[in-house]
Every structure is written in C-alpha cells, then in structure tokens.
Amino acid sequence: MPRQVSKARKLKWTDLADKGLSASEIRTEDGDNPDLRTVRRAVAELQAARQRQLAREQALVLGLREHWTILLDALSSVPKQGFYWEPQRTRPIYAIDETHLRGDGWTANHSSDGWIIELEFEKKIEIKLLKEHLKKDDFWDLLETFKVDMGKALAARMEMAEYVSRQAAELTNLNIGDRPEDTGLFLVGLNKIDEYISARARGSDLRPPHLSVSGREVTISGALLARGEGSNESSLEPTLSAMIKGLTKSEYWRRLLSTSTRLTQAVISLRHEAEILMISTVLPGECKSCKRYST
C-alpha cells in the first residue's frame, strides 16, 4: 500500500515545480525517491488549487471595485445647486393649511417642531449601504443640516404665501373666492404674486408682475387677481400694486430670503462633499452586501 504523502511535502514539491524543476529533478531533490506519478499528481493538484484561489481573489477584487462604484455613483442624485425645493403638486398659496407636502424628490410633514423633510435620495438601497461603509463621514452631518435648513426655508415659504393672501384681503377688504363669477380675490392671481416673491428670494431679478384693469377686474400676468364691486373698484389696482412692492419690506420676506440663502449654501456644501466622495477608489469597512462574498 503506497505511503501517504504529507501536505508539507506536496507543498515543497510544488514550490520546486514553480521554480522550474521537472518531476525527475524534484524526485532527486526530495531524496526519498518518490514515484514520479505521485509527484506529478501532487504538483498538478496544488497548482490547480492555487489557480482557483488566485482567480477567486481577483474576482473578489473586481467585485468589490464594482460594488464601491455602484454605491458611490448613487451620490450623483444628491440635491444640486438650483435644487427646486418648493412644493410641486400643490402650490403654496393653495396649500396654506396643508400638513403634508411633496416636491421633486422629497416629502415634508408638519409637526410641532416645524417641517420635517424626507428625501427619496436617502431611501435608495445604495445610499443605505454606503452609510454602513461611511458611518462617521462628514457627508451625513451635511445631509442632516441640509434637511433642517430646507425645513426652515419651507416654513418661511408657506408663511410668505399666507402673508400674501392675508395682506391682499385686508388691504382690499375682499374675501378670497374660487368661483369665476365671485366678487373678491382669486387664488390663481394671488399665486402669481406669491411665485414672483419666491423667485426673488431665490435670486431672480424679475420685475414686479404687471397688473391690468378691465372693467371691474384686475388681472396679473393674464390671471384673474381681483374683481371689485362698488366704491372699491377704482382703488383695487393701486392698492394691490403697492402691496406687491411692499412685500419685500416685510419680516416674512426677510425670513424667506435668509432661509433661502442658507439653504443654497447647504446645497453647495452637500454637493461638494458628494463630489469628493464620488472620486474615491476605496470604501472602508463592510456593508451587508459586500460582507456576504468577502468572507
């Protein structure tokens, strides 16, 4: 019965084969005159095992690199400068009493602490896994700062919309209606004023919208703003024009301007940090995904 060859001996034969020695030379070097077939078989088995291990390691490196790339590429959807943070489905002037708002990639819920922002960006599985790799990275603090600043800007934005409606009603002594045949103020026109003042806060140099008078009606940029009755008809246009000019002197405007400016800076800082991360070539640590095939 042939003797069992130890693993250490097989490893020694394989090392000699790797140095270029033939099976006959390995047998001579061994000194114990092993069978040539045994030498060849042992060397072939270990070299094949080494090749399989090397291939697995190379595949692991390539897999990890692709995994890191997929996670980091997800940062491309982080809010950019010029991010449109206003509600989209319902314009602010129509949503003054709403407690839930939705915009481009975000939702907001009103609570006793103000507007709480949730980003679709954070719900991506790639971002969740990236956070496992970068648990203490500054990016996450900047992301939280951005959401807090956005909540404050949204609060100021909704307050401004409410102020536009209230000021218009108080100065004209008209109610806000929604039927075309009503006498009063109309949300479609008030929305034009609200959008103008919001655009100014975001840095636009728009001129005040033009008001036109036709009979009892005042329109703004083609939208019905007010319909008067009796003695207040002639005073509607100058009253509303003066109100629009005075909006940028109010505390609501100052709050909207300051929170909008702060949010813009938060977006810039967040985007800058994301771009730094996106050119990284290695991610530290592990996440639930890569842990499965790296062990």
Percentage of the residues of the chain whose pLDDT score is greater than 90: 45
How would you list the strands of the sheet with 223-227, edge to edge?
Answer: 176-177, 184-186, 223-227, 217-220, 211-214
On the question of pLDDT at 219 being above 80, the answer is yes
85-89, 273-277, 280-284: lowest mean pLDDT where? 85-89
The torsion angles phi and psi of 26, rounded to 5 degrees, stand at -65, -40
On the question of pLDDT at 277 being above 50, the answer is yes
Burial (CB count <10 Å: 0-12, 13-18, 19+), residue 216: middle
Which of 87, 78, 118, 81 lies closest to 198 in space, CA to CA?
Answer: 87
Helix pair 251-278, 138-172: axis angle to 10 deg: 160
Q: Annotate the chain with three-state secondary structure.
A: CCCCCCHHHHHHHHHHHHCCCCHHHHHHHHCCCCCHHHHHHHHHHHHHHHHHHHHHHHHHHHHHHHHHHHHHHHHHHCCCCCCCCCCCCCCHHHCCCCCEEEECCEEEEEECCEEEEEEHHHHCHHHHHHHHHCCCCHHHHHHHHHHHHHHHHHHHHHHHHHHHHHHHHHHHCCCEECCCCCCEEEHHHHHHHHHHHHHHHCCCCCCCCCEEEECCEEEECCEEEEECCHHHCCCHHHHHHHHHHHHHHCHHHHHHHHHHHHHHHHHHHHHHHHHHHHCCCCCCCCCHHHHHHHC
pLDDT tens digit string along 61-75? 777 888 889 999 999
Q: Are 180 and 225 in contact (CB under 8 A)?
A: no
Q: Are 253 and 143 in contact (CB under 8 A)?
A: no
CA angle 146, 148, 152 (to 5 degrees): 115
Interval 164-170 mean pLDDT? 94
The torsion angles phi and psi of 106, rounded to 5 degrees, stand at -150, 160
Average pLDDT, the chain: 86
> What band does 232 get if pLDDT is binned at 50, 70 and 90?
low
On the question of pLDDT at 295 being above 70, the answer is no
Q: Are 270 and 79 in contact (CB under 8 A)?
A: yes
Which of 126, 179, 143 lies closest to 289 in space, CA to CA?
Answer: 126
- The CA distance from 126 to 123, in Å, is 9
Number of residues in the chain: 295
Domain boundaries, the chain: 7-68, 78-291
pLDDT tens digit string along 4-38? 778 888 788 778 877 888 888 877 877 777 888 88
- Residue 242 has a CB neighbour count (10 Å cut-off) of 10
- The CA distance from 252 to 91, in Å, is 18
Asked whether the whole model's pTM tops 0.85, one would answer no
> What band does 1 get if pLDDT is binned at 50, 70 and 90?
very low
